[in-house]
């Protein structure tokens, strides 16, 4: 069984503010490693035949997971660094059996979602696909679904669980790390309880029959609509082939191949970021 793990940080236990997800913050890196250890211990103690695990370091610049973790787990590979195609899902293909999302968070505009955002809180005001407001979990799950790979486990905040309730149809495991009470405040569960829940959830996640797991797909043509926080970002993104300007801050793009839409969204974020940084 090949497992793909996409790792973000805002949804981890013990974190509620931006400075806590800075790669230079030792406490956050320690928390990240503790979450990953719980996931990997749960996997390799589950009794399942785990042939390979690929972990995508998917927060910010993709440089958060210490490479040394592979000393303890010799069947684990790390996707590290940026820029890279398919960013949060780099390296995923149809050979994987199931996907885990660790440290995921609610989408932008979600009340009481911890550090709510969708790819960029400073650049993007909203993202819709086929008319539905998106979060990163849905966008990335659909990329996995395009390759025929279902989602088996999500570790994240309470509000993300609520966002996914009517979107992820099937049987999967969800571990709640914290309950948001504002954008930058949460009620944190005891870390020992969270780690224990993760280990047990991982073992259950690999036992679920593959056909019972949620397989997320969007109907074609896939229409992406992005509302930026500044008209200058839309000015620049509008220059991309295939992009249409909807209004001052909003652009759209449609395509029959979801990976094209997925990477177009990443390109839009990078373009908008370059405009912000050039000021």
Q: Is the pLDDT of residue 24 over 80?
A: no
Could you tell me which residues are beta bridge partners of residue 52? 2
Say if residues 102 and 109 touch (Cβ distance below 8 Å).
Answer: no
Question: What is the C-alpha to C-alpha distance for residues 113 and 134, in angstroms, rounded to an integer?
Answer: 14
Q: Does 255 qualify as catalytic in the annotation?
A: no
pLDDT band for 180, please (50, 70, 90 cuts). very high
Q: Is 10 annotated as a binding residue?
A: yes
Q: What DSSP string describes 205-240?
A: HTTS-GGGS-----PSSEEEEEEESSHHHHHHHTTS
Q: Is the pLDDT of residue 22 over 90?
A: no
Number of helices (H), then strands (E), belonging to the chain: the values are: 6, 13
Q: Is 255 annotated as a binding residue?
A: no
Q: Which of 124, 140, 166 is nearest to 11 (CA)?
A: 140
Q: Is 49 annotated as a binding residue?
A: no
220-259 pLDDT, tens digit each: 999 999 999 999 999 999 999 999 999 999 999 999 999 9
Main-chain dihedrals φ then ψ at residue 12, nearest 5 degrees: -70, 155
| Catalytic residue selected from 117, 125, 147, 211 | 117
Record the pTM. 0.96
Chain centroid to CA 170: 19
Q: Is the pLDDT of residue 29 over 80?
A: yes
In this structure, CATH architecture of domain 222-278 = 2-Layer Sandwich (3.30)
CATH 3.40.50.10780 positions along the chain are 2-119+135-212
User: Which region, left, alpha or beta, applies to residue 28 given φ > 0 means left and ψ of -120 to 50 means alpha?
Assistant: alpha
Q: How far is CA 68 from CA 33, 76, 270, 273, in A?
A: 10, 11, 29, 31
CATH 3.30.1360.130 positions along the chain are 222-278
| Domain covering 2-119+135-212 assigned CATH 3.40.50.10780 in the classification | yes
């Amino acid at each position: 069984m090949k497992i793909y793990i996409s790792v973000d940080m805002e949804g981890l236990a013990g974190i509620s503010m931006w400075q806590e997800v800075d790669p230079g913050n030792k406490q956050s890196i320690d928390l990240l490693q503790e979450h990953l250890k719980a996931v990997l211990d749960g996997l390799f103690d589950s009794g399942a035949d785990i042939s390979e695990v690929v972990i995508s370091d998917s927060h910010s610049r993709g440089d958060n997971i210490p490479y040394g973790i592979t000393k303890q787990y010799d069947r684990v590979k790390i996707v590290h660094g940026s820029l890279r195609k398919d960013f949060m899902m780099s390296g995923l293909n149809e050979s994987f059996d199931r996907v885990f999302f660790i440290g995921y968070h609610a989408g932008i505009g979600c009340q009481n979602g911890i550090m709510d955002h969708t790819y960029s809180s400073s650049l993007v005001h909203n993202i819709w696909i086929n008319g539905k407001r998106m979060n990163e979990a849905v966008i990335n799950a659909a990329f996995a679904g395009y390759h025929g790979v279902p989602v088996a486990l999500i570790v994240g905040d309470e509000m993300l669980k609520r966002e996914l309730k009517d979107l992820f149809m099937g049987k999967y495991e969800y571990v709640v790390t914290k309950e948001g009470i504002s954008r930058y405040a949460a009620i944190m569960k005891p870390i020992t309880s969270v780690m224990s829940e993760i280990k047990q959830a991982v073992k259950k996640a690999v036992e679920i029959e593959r056909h019972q797991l949620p397989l997320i797909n969007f109907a074609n043509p896939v229409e992406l609509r992005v509302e930026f926080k500044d008209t200058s970002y839309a000015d620049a993104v509008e220059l991309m082939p295939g992009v249409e300007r909807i209004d001052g801050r909003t652009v759209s793009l449609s395509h029959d191949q979801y990976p094209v839409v997925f990477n177009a969204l990443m390109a839009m974020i990078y373009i908008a970021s370059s405009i912000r940084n050039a000021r």
